[in-house]
Amino acid sequence: MGAGGRMNVAAASDKPHAFKRVPVSKPPFELSDLKKAVPPHCFKRSLVRSFAALFRDIIIVTVLYYLAATIIPVLPKPLTYVAWPLYWFFQGAYLMGLWVIGHECGHHGFSEYQWLDDTVGFIVHSLILTPYFGFKYSHRTHHANTNSIEYDEVWIPKRKSDKLYSEILNNPLGSFVVFVFKIVLGFPLYFVFNLYGRKYEKGITSHFYPYSPIFNDSERFQIFLTDLGVFGTLYGVYRLALIKGTEWVINFYGMPILFMSGFFILLTYLHHTHPSIPHYDSTEWDWLRGALATVDRNFGFLNHAFHDVTRTHAVHHLFPTIPHYHTFEARLAVMPILGDYYKYDDTPILEAVWRETKDCIFIEPEEVNGEKKGIYWFYK
């Protein structure tokens, strides 16, 4: 298909089950019906279990560092070219596990104490170069406006009028460039410049800028704190480089962070980008249908590293304060009620992200009897 051509990706797939569109009509159930189906204990936050999950990640990250620092330097040179990437991959995966704990703190899903959640989340996210409060508040907006093309906060789909995506990059080479760019640079560019985020008419949109239109006046001081946390970590890394050397810092910290940021993009992109889920404009959007238009994925053995949030994202959008150790049970409880409104795709992750990158190019409104509706689907 030539650049700019219009094709419904659902009709072109060789895996029709993966592309069955979710219903867009008003669900025959309410959020209250779903909540009644979830066992009450799922809404309870346990300090013991939350800290156990946090310490699990800290212990694994520490052990991986110890093994790498002890074993890799004494390996024959050719073997280090295999050992280092293995370390970066697994260390990045469990740093992503720590990121998930920080994200849970932002949802007040770690404990019954907001101050404790913010303290733990701020420390954890700062150490892995994530602006805790900046993300907490923009992510709140995302949950409040999921899949609204006007007001959602992240992974805003492109329109056909954006010629860079619909024509210039709408080919295999262009898709590969977008794929690599997204995985390697998507994390820092999202937080620094709000790439992939909502476009605001005025102001500098950055998770690090206290006066960004992303935040309201009551939140700006906490953005200053966020900046102190992240830049304090960067200064510590700089001082460590003076002592240990730049190569040491790159191998033991820089590359694992790069892998972690790639995992962050994979998770968030694949949970919100799929040919079978709709987006809505203000004439059609409502909170429940928007929250249901998400996709659960299977990351295989990495589910363990990511606390299994990979397979429970849909229920997380319905009940974001449920801690991760209860979300799988909650998911099983609501699935019979959700029926076709629940979307799960177990396509292998690398295949899925490549497919979505090359097929989910832009959105166009659905047409019924020649009339365009406020429901949008991906096309290429």
**DSSP string over 318-377:** H-TTS-HHHHHHHHHHHHHHHGGG--EE-S-HHHHHHHHHHH--EEEEEEETTEEEEEEE
Q: In this structure, is residue 253 part of a structural domain?
A: yes
Q: In this structure, is residue 350 part of a structural domain?
A: yes
- Domain membership of residue 188 as a residue range: 44-379
**Within 10 Å of residue 42's Cβ, how many Cβ atoms?**
19
**Among 128, 136, 85, 76, residue whose Cα is nearest residue 110:** 136
How confident is the model at residue 13, as a pLDDT? 39
Q: In this structure, is residue 89 part of a structural domain?
A: yes
Rg for the chain, CA atoms, rounded: 21
Q: In this structure, is residue 18 part of a structural domain?
A: no
Site of tokens 């569109």:
21
Q: In this structure, is residue 134 part of a structural domain?
A: yes
How confident is the model at residue 15, as a pLDDT? 52
Please report, for residues 7, 122, 175, 263, the alpha-carbon distance to residue 179 in angstroms, rounded to integers and kept in the order given: 20, 30, 6, 13
Q: What is the pTM of this model?
A: 0.93
Q: In this structure, is residue 35 part of a structural domain?
A: no
Q: In this structure, is residue 38 part of a structural domain?
A: no
Distance CA 71, CA 231 (A): 31
How confident is the model at residue 17, as a pLDDT? 62
- Kindly give the pairing relationship between strand 344-345 and strand 296-297: parallel
**Among 294, 295, 309, residue whose Cα is nearest residue 263:** 309
How confident is the model at residue 369, as a pLDDT? 73
How does pLDDT run along the chain (380 residues), one tens digit per residue?
333 334 443 333 345 567 789 999 999 999 999 999 999 999 999 999 999 999 999 999 999 999 999 999 999 999 999 999 999 999 999 999 999 999 999 999 999 999 999 999 999 999 999 999 999 999 999 999 999 999 999 999 999 888 888 889 889 999 999 999 999 999 999 999 999 999 998 999 999 999 999 999 999 999 999 999 999 999 999 999 999 999 999 999 999 999 999 999 999 999 999 999 999 999 999 999 999 999 999 999 999 999 999 999 999 999 999 999 999 999 999 999 999 999 999 999 999 999 999 999 999 998 877 777 899 999 88
How confident is the model at residue 10, as a pLDDT? 38
Tokens matching residue 293: 């238009």
Tokens matching residue 163: 């010629």
Q: In this structure, is residue 8 part of a structural domain?
A: no
**Within 10 Å of residue 321's Cβ, how many Cβ atoms?**
12
How confident is the model at residue 371, as a pLDDT? 76
- How many independent structural domains does the chain possess? 1
> Do 124 and 102 meet the contact criterion of CB atoms below 8 Å apart?
yes
**Among 297, 278, 276, 296, residue whose Cα is nearest residue 351:** 297
How confident is the model at residue 4, as a pLDDT? 37
Distance CA 301, CA 311 (A): 12
Distance CA 181, CA 195 (A): 12
Kindly tell me the burial class for residue 153, based on how many C-beta atoms sit within 10 Å of its own C-beta (0-12, 13-18, 19 or more): buried
How confident is the model at residue 2, as a pLDDT? 37
Residue 354 sits at the vertex; the CA angle it makes with 132 and 149, to the nearest 5 degrees, is 55
